[in-house]
């Protein structure tokens, strides 16, 4: 009885990533902004959805420090009627 032929499996090669890649940094860290100003509504509108909800840290790309600062700035600008609560 003849032996069956072995079928070679295709192997996938792993992508090699550099160990020392630069981490993606927060836009405010890159600009060296300490605190986000509540009067800068153009910047704050980029951090809010069309419904008026804030984007998450993962979606906006902010670090924890600047996400908290953005949250407070958005709340203050809404209270001062510079931004609407709901669009």
Residue pLDDT, tens place only, 48-82 = 999 999 999 999 999 999 999 999 999 999 999 99
- Does pTM surpass 0.85? no
Residue 18 has pLDDT above 70, yes or no: no
Asked if the structure places residue 6 within a domain, the reply is no
How many separate domains does the chain show? Answer: 1
Q: Show the tokens assigned to 27.
A: 């836009």
Cα–Cα distance for residue pair 56/77, rounded to 1 Å: 19
Asked if the structure places residue 84 within a domain, the reply is no
Instruction: Report the pLDDT averaged over residues 36-58.
Output: 94
Q: What is the pLDDT of residue 31?
A: 93
Burial group, residue 62, by CB count within 10 angstroms (0-12, 13-18, 19+): buried
Cα–Cα distance for residue pair 44/37, rounded to 1 Å: 9
What is the span of the domain harbouring residue 50? 27-79
Cα–Cα distance for residue pair 27/59, rounded to 1 Å: 12
Asked if the structure places residue 14 within a domain, the reply is no
Asked if the structure places residue 22 within a domain, the reply is no
Residue 58 sits in a domain of what CATH number? 4.10.640.10
């Amino acid at each position: 009885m003849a032996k069956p032929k072995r079928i070679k499996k295709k192997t996938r090669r792993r992508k090699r990533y550099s160990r020392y890649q630069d981490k993606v940094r927060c836009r405010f860290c890159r600009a060296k902004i300490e605190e986000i100003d509540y009067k800068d509504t153009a910047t704050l509108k980029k951090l809010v959805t069309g419904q008026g909800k804030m984007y998450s840290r993962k979606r906006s790309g902010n670090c924890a420090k600047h996400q908290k600062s953005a949250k407070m700035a958005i709340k203050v600008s809404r209270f001062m009627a510079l931004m609407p609560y709901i669009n």
